Structure 1
């Protein structure tokens, strides 16, 4: 998903991780993927700006 942030006019990519039951916490795999994205620095990989749960 793409979205345009109103505060910054920056176009951002959104990724929603789903669990089997919405009330469950993230799986270990999801947390591992988030950790990798936070550490990744490459021109072809988007930079993680924020993460929220809700």
Structure 2
């Protein structure tokens, strides 16, 4: 399972043209529209995952 999740992270990094920390730290400081959009999507996905795990699937 851990290897599968690692592959998903690698695929997401390639699909998003960079890692979450790269977009969040470097991209936001440069005010890159692409990085702003990527960071918003990453955060919303994280919020949705936590909500589902804590409130729906419990």
TM over 0.5: no
Q: Which has the higher contact order (CA 8 A, sep 6+)?
A: 2
In proportion to residue count, which structure has more helix? 2
TM-score, normalised relative to structure 1:
0.32
TM-score, structure 2 as length reference: 0.31
